[in-house]
């Protein structure tokens, strides 16, 4: 084959890309389970807050809303969604929302928040937390007077998680 010809150059680049693709595929097959395991290990302490002692696995997901950061299955218990939403504080807050296998809320735990005490912070205290815990995946999270921005953010995050949960059924 003529080394200066277009065909030679195309074949050379094609073969090189194929070899590189194979190499990347091999390394990905080797490292992916370890990366997934490490991601769960980091999150496991948080997930245990909702389903203690369960066996967790990270799940692939597509969330167009941008609220859901992670989805984890708890074998024989349900699904846990890690959600980041922005209320009054511009840095936002992160919480876990779980749905039991029957569709009822399995848990609602805040991981990080810096909302205003007496206002937005009430969304992470009773009676609001108890209200959320009594919902199902077909419901909408309630709004809280005096904490409209924070509860609206929770409502949107709840809707994103329940949409993902319902789509899996």
User: With respect to another protein, which residue has the nearer C-beta, 7 or 145?
Assistant: 7
Minimum gap (Å) between residue 56 Cβ and another protein: 17
State yes or no: residue 12 binds another protein (CB under 8 A).
yes
DSSP the chain: --TTSHHHHHHHHHHHHHHHHHHHHHHHHHHHHHHHHHHHHHHHHHHTTTSTT--EEE-----TTS-EEEEEEETTTEEEEEEEE-SSSTT-EEEEEEEETTSBEEEEEEEE--PPTTTGGGGGSTTHHHHHHT-BTTS-PPP-TT-HHHHHHHHHHHHHHHHHHHHH-
Size of the site for another protein (CB under 8 A): 19
Q: Which residue of 7, 13, 66, 169 would you call a contact of another protein, by CB under 8 A?
A: 13
**Binding letters toward another protein, positions 15-54, x by CB under 8 A:** -xx--x--xx--xx-xx--xx--x---x------------
Minimum gap (Å) between residue 26 Cβ and another protein: 9
Q: What residues make contact with another protein under the rule CB under 8 A?
A: 3-4, 8-9, 12-13, 16-17, 20, 23-24, 27-28, 30-31, 34-35, 38, 42
């Amino acid at each position: 084959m003529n080394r200066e010809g277009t065909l030679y150059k195309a074949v050379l680049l094609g073969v090189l890309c194929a070899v590189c693709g194979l190499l990347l595929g091999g390394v990905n097959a080797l490292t992916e389970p370890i990366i997934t395991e490490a991601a769960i290990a980091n999150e496991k302490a948080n997930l245990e807050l909702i389903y203690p002692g369960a066996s967790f696995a990270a799940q692939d997901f597509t969330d167009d809303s941008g609220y859901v950061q992670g989805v984890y299955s708890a074998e024989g218990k349900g699904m846990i969604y890690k959600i980041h939403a922005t209320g009054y504080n511009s840095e936002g807050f992160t919480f876990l929302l779980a749905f039991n296998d029957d569709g009822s809320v399995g848990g609602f735990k805040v991981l990080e928040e810096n909302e205003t005490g007496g206002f937005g912070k009430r969304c992470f205290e009773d009676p609001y937390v108890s209200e959320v815990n009594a919902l199902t995946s077909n419901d909408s999270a309630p709004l809280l007077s005096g904490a409209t921005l924070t509860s609206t953010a929770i409502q949107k995050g709840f809707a994103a998680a329940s949409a993902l949960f319902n789509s899996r059924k």
